[in-house]
Structure formats: structure tokens, C-alpha cells
Amino acid sequence: MLYQLEGSQAIAKAVVLCRPGVVCAYPITPQTHIVEGIGELIRSGDLSEGEFINVESEMAALSVAIGSQATGVRSYTATSSQGLLYMMEAVYNASGMELPIVMTLGNRTIGAPINIWNDHSDAMAARDAGWIMLFAETNQEALDLHIQAFKIAEKMLCPTMICVDGFILTHAYERVDIPFQEEVDEFLPPYVPNIYMDERNPIAVGAMVSPEYFMEVRYLAHRKQTDALEIISLVSDEFKRQFSRDSGGLLRKYHTDNAKTVVIAMGSVSGTIKDVVDELNASGEMFGVVSLVSYRPFPSAALRMVLKNVAKVIVVEKAFALGIGGFLSQEVELALKDIDVRVISVVAGIGGRSITRNLLKECFLKRTHEQITFLGLKEDIAAEKYTSLKLHYLGGMI
Amino acid sequence: MFQVRIHGRGGQGVVTAAETLSIAAFLENKHAQAFPSFGSERMGAPVLAFCRISDKEIRLREPILEPDALIVQDPTAIDLPRVFIDVVPGGFVLINSPVPLVYQQQNITMKCIDATRIAIEQIGRPIPNAVLLGGFSALTGVVKIDSVIEAIKTKFFGTIAEKNICAAKVAYEKIIEES
Amino acid sequence: MSYSTLKDVEEFTTVQSSHDRPNTLTSGHRGCQGCGEALGARCAIDAAHRETNGKIIVVNATGCLEVFTCYFPENSWNVPWLHSLFGNAPAVATGVAAALRRQGRDDVRVIAQGGDGSTFDIGMGCLSGMFDRNDDVLYICYDNQAYMNTGVQRSGATPPLARTATTLPNKSYMGSDSQTGKNVPKIAMAHGIPYIATASIANIPDLEEKVRRAIGIHGARYVHIHVPCPLGWGYPTSETIKIARLAIQCGLFPLFEAEHGKQVRSTQIEDLIPVEEYLRSQKRFAHLFGKNAPADAIGVLQNIANSNIELYRLSGGILNA
């Protein structure tokens, strides 16, 4: 049924439709509306059998979910930014223990300086934590991905993070189609844990593993991640069959078939990019767009298939590693290392800086590119500050 | 696509106005996208909110730089002449003001309405957002007043909803009369 | 204690010497010889197991107890046992309890356990949150007064002037400089939770009784068990029980119970001894008796014992500092 809803409320409804037994809530902007919404739905009886727990920190939020999931109950939490960093030890722990927790990440940058606005720095900080990480382009996709996430996580025994651009999606009202409970129940059966804390069949979870065995544990976790590529596609196909909606999967193509240049991006910025590409193509250019849904596992083979005949790839990325460059562009480059294609990194939207059509258009039409382009950087201020900074650290050396 | 930017102060229901407008458009089977200026503004600080309305799916996520319509809930919160420049030719400006304001701007339809006074009279609180949405419907015709009324019913309940609906209607009729 | 009849033997015999002992923590683990924590954990979890007919789930914080009992592929626990991290055991236990409630398995009782490092320091936030929500969890702290797992570093539970690897005394420094100290049983009491007890491996029937009482109550409960560590404290491995007994007798480790924030019972000290006798038995305090020792060092610790005696009403009189 169609609704005009805030993104966070749509996600809250999707989560409740998945009937989690335990939801842990701790406030952090811009994720807060999601857990507020879930709390209200649980207490108003939409999910009367659910436990909604207000905890004292993000560390506790994910830890409570670890405890409940390990006891055999579908568990959910949400966070953003500093909150993800604060729980990071538990983030790695949850994947190491193969607990299929689902968590929403309302993407926000990381301080200092403190900044509550959107970019993907928080998600990148967790990229190696062994979670499946899926990025939503619209609120409809955010909603759909949450329903798929529980299925993927539980099939793979791997925690799954749905990344939703903070404010841009979480606080945006737009049209969403919310499925009925029976439909979701049909798609997502009740959670049946394979092993769990049970006094009738005592097991120990979380043992100390020595060098004799540890590498195999990590190897298997790696194999599981790469196998998840197939499961993510299958679950997306199944979702499409049942709900007649194309959501999720590994990546989505837009006019890539005859494209000379393909722009790759994750999350909500793909929409703006598609509008720009339409405008450019109308004037004779040949641009295509790939919006990456599955960031972990990274769909290297699928990317190679799409980009094998492309001359140039422009990666628009909302996070970068200081001193080296964009995370996503490096990974795209690695995936395409056997293909003769130029990969260009455009760092955009850092700390909530507006990504406008005009800036993107100008950037896409450039014939030559810097190694990294910082889209919308205030060059004059940056140059002035850089000069004084350099004077400071070079001090007496010049 | 029709793009609306709303200026006001924290506590005046600026974000709620954008959201309600998007619901009104949705009720007319249009696509709509409403979003705030994404700040951590406290009560009284200048606040921005946006609403896009279209017959097609809206993919664009940039802030609204060149609005088709500007709703100013509090003219003291902004530099009016500067924001006027952004409005596209043929666009609309609706200002909450107890006195008529005059700006020389070609090809823009401007209206002033004492929305705060209407809000105090009708709702009992100086929250001008519903009043201005009624005015917006009359001024632009982008959404019908009936849709605005239905949208208000989804955001407010009981007597608060009724009072806001009355306030929106008063503004709607006033601007229709003046046009 | 002397037994005059078979009935006395049965009454005062601990679960440890019983033939049908549950053996929740089996022998063959990698704990040190004379480990107080292994003994404390075995007694406590056995008592809980017996009281609940085996319906318990144990969450363990990282630390000595965790490391020496679950070295893959071996495992010494005969109960469902879950280890997550150093600082989150109370929160994980909250999750276990929530899941059990969701599953209608409320008859299964949840225990979280950790050492003083995880309880006093890194897990304090999660512990306080669990108390605040009055979650249905029994938290047991095995207090050996330092980070023993990592090689005896100072924790929030380390007594003033004690020697640890991070508070090595020298000519100008006398050992751990605890300014005001951190009293977790009192912090637990300040949360108003239904039941709090301190216990010691020097008095196992008392320990078992307190765990038995605690496991039957719903809501957040806290049992704090004093467990000497021969390695960290510096005493012969055969003297663990004796050292634990001296701590009680001098008043440095008070045995008491509290309900809903109020002290309800305390164990009287039978033969009060000066703290010096306790301190002299351990190398971690040896520098307090050397030629560089300041005159007031012993007095600092005697004062703590005296205020414990007064606060918890442990004895009719106190010893002069």
C-alpha cells in the first residue's frame, strides 16, 4: 500500500514487519527516528511480542543484540557515525560469532570536527568487519532491503548492515509502497536458529582460538562473504517475483550498454547522477551509471561484466582515506585491474556538502582529471589554509 | 517538476509544512519529496525545508537552489532580497507579514498574508505553517485546498487538526478574494 | 568447624564434595594452581545449577576465567556459555534474558560473570545500564583486585599501596595510589537493585547460600566474590583459602547482603586481626614493610578496614590504626 512517509518511519515499519524479537535503541542523529518509530509501533501493538530495550550506549545496543541473537531470537538495532565507532568492537564480534543481526546505519560522517551530516565515512570504518553491507538509493529500496536483509543474514549466518544516507533519506518524505504483513511473512519465515544458548543442549560460543585454527576461521569467513554474492542476488530475485519490485541485488545498471563513461556511486546520490546523465546523453554524450547496492561482499565479477567495454569510469564517493584516496575507487580499480579502463575518483558530499547537478555535470565533462577531485571544494580557502599549515609543520626546514 | 523552499525559524513548523505539502501532493497521485535543511537547529534558529512535486518519480537529491515558489514563514529569519533572486521567472513568493512588503522583482507573483495573526485567531498558537499552506494552494494552484486539508488530517489529530484546517481555509479564501 | 553428627556433615558439606556435584566447570581447565577465581566460579555456578535444576545460561566477560576455560577445541563448561567481549557481558546477558522472555523460557536463569577489570572498569557502563533497567540477570564479579589475565596491572579494584605491574613501588612511590577507591557493591546498592551480596571462597557454604538466594530473585542482582590470586598477590599456591580468610578477619573484605539498596545482613568477624597480618602474607604489600616504608602506610589500610567494620557492623570493636 502506498504511503507518503519519512524514510525513518518507512524503515521502522519494514523492520516491524520482519517481526524482530528484540530491538535495541540508543539515540544518535540521524538514525534516531528509526528506533523511535519502532518503539512506538511495538508499544502500540503492531509487534506486541517484541522486546524494545533502551540501552545506555551503542556498545550495549549491539551487545544486547548479540546476546539475544545468540539465544535464538531475531534481533535488530540501528546506529550512525560515532555510534558505530563506539560499538566497533562488538561489530567485529557479531560477525566473528556468525550472528545474523540486522542493523541500519544512518550514514553520517565522523568527527572531529563534529558534524552530523551525511557521508559514508562511518560505513567505510566498518568495511572490513565481516558484515554484509548494502546501500539504499531511495527510501523504497531502504524499506525493501531491510526485508531482504533478515533473509540474507539468516541464510548466510552473517550480520547485515543496511546503509541509508542520513538526513537525505532518513529525514526525507517520499512515496513508499509498504507490503502487508502476510506478504512479508510469506517472504521471510520465522527465524530458526541452527545453534543457540539452550540448557538442554549446552554449547560454548566465543572460545579462544589459537594460531593453529584461527587462519582457517578467517579463511572460511572470507569464503562465506564471497558466496554471499550469490545469495544476495537470489534473495533480490525472489523479492522481485513476490513484490514485483526491483530492489537490492549486487548492483543496478542505468544506460550502461553503449556507454563510453560509466559513473559508479553508492546510495542516494545515484538519483542525482542519473538526472545529470540523462541531461548529458540528451546532448549526445554516452554516459551510464552503476549504483552499487552490495558494497560487502564487493561484486568484482559483476562490475567487470558491466564495465568491460567502457573507456572511463568515474567513481563518485562519499568517503576517502586520508593520505591515499577514495575507498570505493581503489576497490573498483582492483576489480578492473585486467581491463583497460581509466578509473577516476571524485570525492563528493563530505560532511554533508551539497552534491549538485551543476557540479557533477562540469566534473563529468572534463577531459582531464586530477588523481582525486574534491567536488565543490572551496579552493581559495583550502589553498590559503594549506599554505599556513605547511609553514607550521615545515617550520625551520624551509 | 515544481520546487518549493520554505524559510522560517525552529518551532514554527517549517519542516512539518514541507512534509504536509508533500502529503497533499501525494494525495493527488503526484510524486513528492520533502526534506529539511538537515541541521541541528534549536527553537528560534533560522530553518529551511524543501518540497519537490512532480508527475514522475523524483530522483534528484540536491537542495532546492532555484525554487518555483518560496514560502517565508518569518521574514526576519532571512535576507529577503537575496533569497528573492533564487526564485525562477514566473515563480511565486508567499510571505507571512502583518504589513504588505514591496519588492521590485519582475515576473514573480508575490503575496503577503498575516499568517501569525490568523494562526493565533484560529489555532490559538502563533504557528503559521498550515495558514501558509492554505495560502500556497490559492496562490499557486499546485495542490488543491482539499488535498491540503486531507494532508493536515494525517499530520494532526482531533481539535488541533480542525483548527489548523480552519486556519488554512481562511488564508485560502483571503488570497482567492484578493486575486 | 567440627562435625559431631552425620547430619552436621551433610549440613555443612559444600556442593563441591558431594557425589552428585553438577561439575559445571570441569577439571582439566588451564587455570593456575591455587586459582581462587576457578574455585569461586565452580562453587557459584554449581550452586546456581543445583538451585535451578540446570536451567542456567552463563555469559562470560573476557578475562582469566574465560581464557583458561575455553581454549578451542577444548571447553570446560557444562552449561550453555557465551563469551563476547571484555566490556559488554552485562549487556549480552540482558540480550539473553530478553530472548528468553520472548521465547517464554523465563524459567531459564541468566548469569553474567567477569573479573574486577571488566566489572569495575571497562564494563561499568554496561553493568550500570543492566542494573538501571533491572534486567533479569545475576551478575557475579570475581574480584582478584587487578588485571591478572594480562599480567597483574592495576584495576579499579586494586587496594591502595598494592604493588602491580603498573604500580611498581620505588624510592619515591609506594604503590597503587587509589585516591578514593571504587566500591562496586555500593554502586550496585545505589541502583536500588533487589539483591546484592559479597562472598568469599573462604566461606563456601555462605557463598553457595548467597548465590542460591540470588538466583531465585527476579531483576538485577549482584554477587561480589573475593578470589585471591597467588600469582598476582604473591603467596604460596596452597594458601589461597587462608589469604581469603585473613581478608575477612581483618575487615578489608566485608561479607554482607543488601536488598533494594539497604544493607540487611552482615557476617560478624569472629577473631578480628590487624590488617598487618593480612598484608604481610602477600608480596604485593612487601614494600610496606621494607626500610623505605613510610610510617603511615599500614595505617591507610587499617583505616579502610576500620571504616568497613563500622559501616557494615562487622564487629563490636575496631583496632587502632
Cis before B98 (ω within 30) = no
Q: Cα dist. A351→A32, A115, A360, A390, B106 in Å? A: 18, 6, 17, 24, 37
C-beta atoms of C72 and A90 within 8 A:
no
- Which residues of A are less than 8 Å from C71 in CB distance? 207-208, 210
C-beta atoms of A173 and B60 within 8 A:
no
C-beta atoms of A174 and B32 within 8 A:
yes
Express each pLDDT in A28-61 by its tens digit.
999 999 999 999 999 988 777 799 999 999 999 9
Longest Cα separation, chain C: 64
Going by pLDDT thresholds of 50, 70 and 90, the confidence category of residue C60 is: very high
A138 touches chain C (CB under 8 A): no
Express each pLDDT in C18-47 by its tens digit.
777 889 999 889 999 999 999 999 999 999
The nearest alpha carbon in chain A to C55 belongs to A199
Look at C124 and B84; give whichever has higher pLDDT: C124
Q: Tell me, what's the pLDDT at C13?
A: 67
Q: Tell me, what's the pLDDT at A143?
A: 98
Q: Tell me, what's the pLDDT at B40?
A: 62
SS3 A293: coil
Residue B74, pLDDT above cutoff 60 = yes
C-beta atoms of C102 and A22 within 8 A:
yes
Q: Residue range C119-128: average pLDDT? A: 98
Express each pLDDT in A309-360 by its tens digit.
999 999 999 999 999 999 999 999 999 999 999 999 999 999 999 999 999 9
Q: Give chain A's domains with CATH numbers.
A: 2-243 (3.40.50.970), 251-382 (3.40.50.920)
Average of per-residue pLDDT values in chain B: 93
C-beta atoms of A199 and C125 within 8 A:
no
Please answer whether residues B4 and B21 qualify as being in contact, where contact means their C-beta atoms are separated by less than 8 angstroms.
Answer: yes
Chain C nearest-CA distance from A374, in A, is 39
- Which residues of B are less than 8 Å from A246 in CB distance? none
Residue B38, pLDDT above cutoff 70 = no
Measured between CB atoms, which of A29, A173, A272 is closest to B40? Answer: A29
Length of chain B: 179
Chain C nearest-CA distance from A94, in A, is 8
C-beta atoms of A67 and C91 within 8 A:
yes
Please answer whether residues C147 and A81 qualify as being in contact, where contact means their C-beta atoms are separated by less than 8 angstroms.
Answer: no
- Which residues of A are less than 8 Å from B148 in CB distance? none
Going by pLDDT thresholds of 50, 70 and 90, the confidence category of residue A197 is: very high
Residue C245, pLDDT above cutoff 80 = yes
A160 touches chain B (CB under 8 A): no
- Which residues of B are less than 8 Å from A272 in CB distance? 59-62
Express each pLDDT in A67-101 by its tens digit.
999 999 999 999 999 999 999 999 999 999 999 99
C-beta atoms of C101 and A51 within 8 A:
yes
C-beta atoms of A168 and B18 within 8 A:
no
- Kindly state the DSSP code that residue C283 receives in the 8-state scheme: G
Which pairs with CB-CB distance under 8 Å and at least 24 residues apart come from A339-343?
Answer: A339/A304, A339/A307, A339/A308, A341/A307, A341/A310, A341/A311, A341/A312, A341/A313, A342/A311, A342/A312, A342/A313, A343/A313, A343/A315
Phi, psi of B59 (to 5 degrees): -100, -25
Q: Residue range A194-214: average pLDDT? A: 94
Parse chain C into domains and list their residue ranges: 15-311
Least confident of A132-146, B145-159, C60-74, C292-306: C292-306
Express each pLDDT in C179-230 by its tens digit.
778 999 999 999 999 999 999 999 999 999 999 999 999 999 999 999 999 9
Q: Give chain B's domains with CATH numbers.
A: 2-178 (3.40.920.10)
A81 touches chain B (CB under 8 A): no
Going by pLDDT thresholds of 50, 70 and 90, the confidence category of residue C4 is: low
Residue A145, pLDDT above cutoff 70 = yes
Q: Tell me, what's the pLDDT at A131?
A: 98
C-alpha radius of gyration, chain B, whole number: 15
Q: How many CB pairs under 8 A join A and B?
A: 67
Express each pLDDT in B116-166 by its tens digit.
999 999 999 999 999 999 999 999 999 999 999 999 999 999 999 999 999
Express each pLDDT in A96-144 by its tens digit.
999 999 999 999 999 999 999 999 999 999 999 999 999 999 999 999 9
A368 touches chain C (CB under 8 A): no
Residue A27, pLDDT above cutoff 90 = yes
A226 vs A239: CA distance, rounded Å: 21
Could you tell me what percent of chain A has a pLDDT over 90?
93
Q: Tell me, what's the pLDDT at A371?
A: 84
Cα atoms found within 13 Å of the Cα of residue A263, Cβ hemisphere only:
32
* DSSP β-bridge partners for residue C306: none
C-beta atoms of B61 and A29 within 8 A:
no
The nearest alpha carbon in chain A to C126 belongs to A60
B11 touches chain A (CB under 8 A): no
Q: Do chains A and B touch (3 or more CB pairs under 8 A)?
A: yes
C166 vs C146: CA distance, rounded Å: 10
Measured between CB atoms, which of B22, B34, B38 is closest to A117? Answer: B38
C-beta atoms of A173 and B63 within 8 A:
no
**Please, what's the b/e burial string for B94-119 (b: 16 or more CB within 10 A of its CB; e: otherwise)?**
bbbbeeeeeeeeeebebbbbbbbebb
Interface of A with C in 177-206 (CB under 8 A): 197-199, 201-206
Residue B39, pLDDT above cutoff 80 = no
Architecture of the domain delimited by C15-311: 3-Layer(aba) Sandwich (3.40)
- Kindly state the DSSP code that residue C287 receives in the 8-state scheme: G
